[in-house]
Amino acid sequence: MSQKQINIAIDGYSSCGKSTVAKLLAKRVGYIYIDSGAMYRAITYFALQRGIIKDKSIYKPSLLKALPSLHIRFKNNEKGQVQTYLNGENIEKEIRTMHVSAHVSQVSAIKEVREKLVALQQDMGKEKGVVMDGRDIGTTVFPDAEIKFFLVSDLDLRVERRRAELQAKGIQVTSKEVEDNLRKRDYIDSNREESPLTKAKDAIEIDNSEVSLEVLVEQLHQMICDKVNELCVKC
């Protein structure tokens, strides 16, 4: 791939394959992968652990007071897998539970939380060469990203993917529980006041319901190469 580096934004609903695709693309092009969703999950996990979230309610003053002291980092483990660290503690497994999933959209709708994380994410992309996935990457975090993708999938397939992911981690959950969680998160993500989930006007929509992961990554990689070549010609 050309030496010219760009930022790649990947948005979409929960469990539509964003993270998997983003990780593979980042490895393919030699870019840094950043899981923006994990950052919101980390703050949600913190709030749950500290009792800031109780009975589905968030005590906002306590969360906002703690925000400046929360430091999120990503490191690769010995297998090359990206792990999420909060204040030096590896919380990758903990943030993927249904308990965290049930509250993360609620936390991510808080204006001050989004402002803090968006600023961090934008700083991570200043030098280019970043693949970031989330729900507002192409619209808010990197509105000037050179290429943007918006992934969509059938709900039944998303439920199947999410349940398989949880079971692989030893978390037993029913399809109904997963579907209810995804529907709730879709609604909150799409209707929140701060940076709602929407498709950027210049994003390329990709339905990955009936295409293999290998074919999908190959297609997106080719689009990225074409975009970089186009930009190089204009230089």
* pLDDT tens digit at each of 235 positions of the chain: 446 899 999 999 999 999 999 999 999 999 999 999 999 999 999 999 999 998 889 999 999 999 999 999 998 888 878 899 999 999 999 999 999 999 999 999 999 999 999 999 999 999 999 999 999 999 999 999 999 999 999 999 999 999 998 898 888 999 999 999 999 999 999 999 888 999 999 999 999 999 999 999 999 999 999 999 998 877 6
CA 42 to chain centre: 12
| Strand ranges (E), 46-180 | 53-54, 57-58, 72-76, 82-86, 89-90, 130-134, 147-152
pTM for the structure as a whole: 0.87
CB contact set of 198 (below 8 Å; sequence gap of 6+):
136, 139, 190
* CA atoms of 159 and 182, how far apart (whole Å): 8
Domain spans of the chain, in order of start:
7-234
Question: Which residue has 């007071």 as its token pair?
Answer: 65
Q: Which fold has domain 7-234?
A: Rossmann fold (3.40.50)
